[in-house]
């Protein structure tokens, strides 16, 4: 049961009630601090939807870890905002990783760039990751630096010590090889067999 506390200078009972898992404490804390958590998330993330996801994740994490909250070390709001900040950064990194994967997919198969949703999108990303792993090690590294670490050709040359022209030519070869393998991998086995018979 949530207590409103005594008037005057009495300590706010809500943080302790939240830590102890009192009935109604989660709702009371959410109502009081949810707007501040959302504002922090929104200041970091590019969309309101991302901020809503972080808002929910923050309170789920906080409730699950409520026994670790120590009022003597800081206010409940400060603790919640620290969780929200970590969640926001994780969300931002996940979004950037997804965007980089989409960039590679678009480069490999521009006509199908909009297919990366649902089961097909998951399968495509798994196939793409497997194809990258089959590249020669030096090409794998350059692809990761270009598309996953988001480095320019000049930055890659500085990072690896390779001449700029070598970086560009190896990336072109890697992308050409990936595109060829990607197109083959997306042809159903039955069609590949039929094509082979026709060519034979």
What tens digit of pLDDT does each residue of 38-50 get?
999 999 888 898 8
Instruction: Report yes or no: 125 and 100 within 8 Å, Cβ to Cβ.
Output: no
Residue 124's pLDDT is 56
Do residue 147 and residue 81 come from a single domain? no
Do residue 122 and residue 60 come from a single domain? no
Domain that includes residue 153, residue range: 109-188
Do residue 89 and residue 53 come from a single domain? yes
For residue 102, is it within any domain?
no
For residue 7, is it within any domain?
no
For residue 103, is it within any domain?
no
For residue 199, is it within any domain?
no
Residue 103's pLDDT is 59
- Dihedral sign of CA atoms 151, 157, 161, 167 in order: positive
For residue 81, is it within any domain?
yes
Say which CATH number the domain at 61 has.
Answer: 1.10.1740.10
Q: Which residue has the tokens 């988001």?
A: 150
CB-based burial label for 191 (10 Å; 0-12, 13-18, 19+)? exposed
Q: Which residues in 101-137 are b (16+ Cβ under 10 Å) and which e? A: bbebbeebbeeeeeebeeeebeebbebbeebbeebee
Query: Would you state the structure tokens that stand for residue 88, as one six-digit string?
Result: 């926001």
Residue 108's pLDDT is 53
Do residue 129 and residue 78 come from a single domain? no
Residue 69's pLDDT is 92
Do residue 42 and residue 88 come from a single domain? yes
Q: Which of 62, 96, 130 is a domain's end point?
A: 96
Q: Which of 96, 124, 145 is a domain's end point?
A: 96
Measure the CA–CA gap between 174 and 162, rounded to whole angstroms.
16
Q: Which of 67, 96, 125 is a domain's end point?
A: 96
For residue 46, is it within any domain?
yes
Say which CATH number the domain at 164 has.
Answer: 1.10.10.10
pLDDT 10s per residue in the chain (200 long)? 455 444 445 678 899 899 998 888 999 999 999 999 999 999 988 889 889 989 999 999 999 999 999 888 889 999 999 999 999 988 887 777 656 655 555 555 544 444 444 444 545 555 666 677 778 888 888 888 887 777 888 999 999 899 999 988 888 888 887 777 666 555 444 444 444 444 34
Residue 35's pLDDT is 94
* Residue among 77, 98, 89, 82 nearest 31 (CA): 77
Do residue 169 and residue 125 come from a single domain? yes
Do residue 74 and residue 129 come from a single domain? no
């Amino acid at each position: 049961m949530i207590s409103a506390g005594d008037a005057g200078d009495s300590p706010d009972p809500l943080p302790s009630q939240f830590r102890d898992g009192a009935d109604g404490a989660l709702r009371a804390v959410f109502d009081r601090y949810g707007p501040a958590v959302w504002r922090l998330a929104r200041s970091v993330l590019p969309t309101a939807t991302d901020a809503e996801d972080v808002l929910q994740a923050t309170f789920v994490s906080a409730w699950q870890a409520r026994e670790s909250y120590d009022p003597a070390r800081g206010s409940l709001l400060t603790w919640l905002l620290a969780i929200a900040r970590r969640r926001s950064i994780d969300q931002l990194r996940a979004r950037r990783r997804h965007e980089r994967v989409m960039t590679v997919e678009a480069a490999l198969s521009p006509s199908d760039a909009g297919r990366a949703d649902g089961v097909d999108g998951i399968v495509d990303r798994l196939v793409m990751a497997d194809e990258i792993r089959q590249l020669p090690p030096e090409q794998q590294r350059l692809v990761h630096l270009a598309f996953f670490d988001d480095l320019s050709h000049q930055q890659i040359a500085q990072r690896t010590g390779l001449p700029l022209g070598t970086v560009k030519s190896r990336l072109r070869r890697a992308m050409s090889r990936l595109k060829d393998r990607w197109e083959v991998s997306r042809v159903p086995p039955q069609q590949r067999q039929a094509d082979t018979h026709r060519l034979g």
